[in-house]
Amino acid sequence: MFTKLLIKTPKDMNLLIQIEPILIAFIIVICCFYCAFMDSNTNNLISEKAMERPKRLIWLDDVRDPLKNNWLKYSPIQGKYNIVWLKSYDQFIEWIIKNGLPTAICFDHDLGWTKTKDNQDEEKTGMDCAKWLVEYCLDNDLKLPLYNIQSDNIPGKMNIDGLLSNFKKHSKA
């Protein structure tokens, strides 16, 4: 069974064609998809870059406020981005599980002491966060975000960088 379809052309010529109903549905879907990605101001397709989510930087540090003392000089991304200041291992994991990977992460090594579920003191470091991040990327076949390390703990900084650069070097994602 065919359906007649009247098509208006730019030069006010009318085309009458016969088409199967399934093709009409397909044409409607394509037109809707095209319109959804049109910039209403310019009538151009919206670029893929413009549709990206905003850049996000995780600032992992229990003490340093990223907005003070020019700490953002350590940020591996430029331009506009949202800053998420996380101060502990638990916050770091919880945020990534809920929101996905950020564009970049700035690591501190020494994150202070936290309490375990049985009320014991436990030190979780930026290195623990980096190890968890590598496992998360491996388990989910994800590329490692950009990163930098602002820690004053030189051995800790070297350990985090060694782990992440080695993972990045050998990663297939």
With b for 16 or more beta-carbon neighbours within 10 A and e for fewer, the 38-60 pattern comes to eeeeeeeeeeeeeeeeebbbbbb
Question: What pLDDT sits at residue 122?
Answer: 81
Per residue in 143-164, pLDDT (tens digit) is: 999 999 999 999 999 999 999 9
Lowest mean pLDDT among 1-10, 62-71, 109-118, 133-142: 1-10
Question: What pLDDT sits at residue 156?
Answer: 95
Lowest mean pLDDT among 50-54, 67-71, 92-96, 116-120: 50-54
Residue (of 170, 74, 78, 171) closest to 126 by Cα position: 74
In percent, the amount of the chain with pLDDT more than 90 equals: 53
45 bridge partner residues: 38
CA 77 vs. chain centroid, Å, equals 12
Q: Which domains does the chain possess? A: 3-48 (no CATH), 53-170 (3.40.50.2300)
Question: What pLDDT sits at residue 150?
Answer: 94
- Which one-letter DSSP state was computed for residue 172? -
- Which one-letter DSSP state was computed for residue 76? S
Per residue in 97-149, pLDDT (tens digit) is: 999 999 999 999 999 877 767 777 788 999 999 999 999 999 999 999 999 99
Question: What pLDDT sits at residue 170?
Answer: 85
